[in-house]
Amino acid sequence: MRGRRCGPGSACLGNVMLALLAHRTLRWLERQRVRYYLARMNVGERVSIKEGLRVARPENVTIGSDVRINSDVLLQAHGPIDIGDFTMLASRCAIVTATHDMAKRGIEAFDTLTKAPVRIGRHCWLGVGVTVLPGVTIGDGTVVGAGSVVTHDLPPGMICAGVPAKPMRQRPSQPQGSGPA
């Protein structure tokens, strides 16, 4: 028996069609989930959101205009999350606004959340896999390097990286007339 061929009426053609149908159905479901979030969040104009967004408590999220959110981003908004205009979140970023009370033990620890808002300024860029913890403010124009964990406030206009994230150097200024300020 030589190579198997897919042709009209063959089982492999049916498998291909079934896989295509499943793929299209999953993509449709993903778009419905994003529409659900968008209807409950306060969102500016021209916001782009890629597949895989997960939002806990979307009513606590405010997203400015011209924001780009890449794939597989988590917004855990037990407290408020505010994302400024012209900000970019790369893939697999996590923004967390609550944590469990470390002083509690047992079942009591599961039920006790400490909440704090997160604010990300305008013109910011969070690299791949950045985690932002509760109570943090990231200043306008700040870039946070891939894989960083932001545990405290970061000043505006800086390039920051590390675990925990720390300012490394000043972000280069934008040349005059090269885009929105």
Within a 10 A sphere around the Cβ of 148, how many other Cβ atoms? 23
Question: Cα angle vertex 158, ends 153, 164, to 5°?
Answer: 45
Q: Are 109 and 125 in contact (CB under 8 A)?
A: no
Within a 10 A sphere around the Cβ of 176, how many other Cβ atoms? 6
Is residue 129 packed enough to be buried (19+ CB in 10 Å), middle (13-18) or exposed (0-12)?
middle
Catalytic residue among 23, 78, 100, 123: 100
Q: Are 141 and 124 in contact (CB under 8 A)?
A: yes
Question: Cα angle vertex 160, ends 148, 42, to 5°?
Answer: 75
| Residue 100 appears among annotated catalytic residues | yes
Within a 10 A sphere around the Cβ of 143, how many other Cβ atoms? 21
For the annotated catalytic residues, the residue numbers are: 100
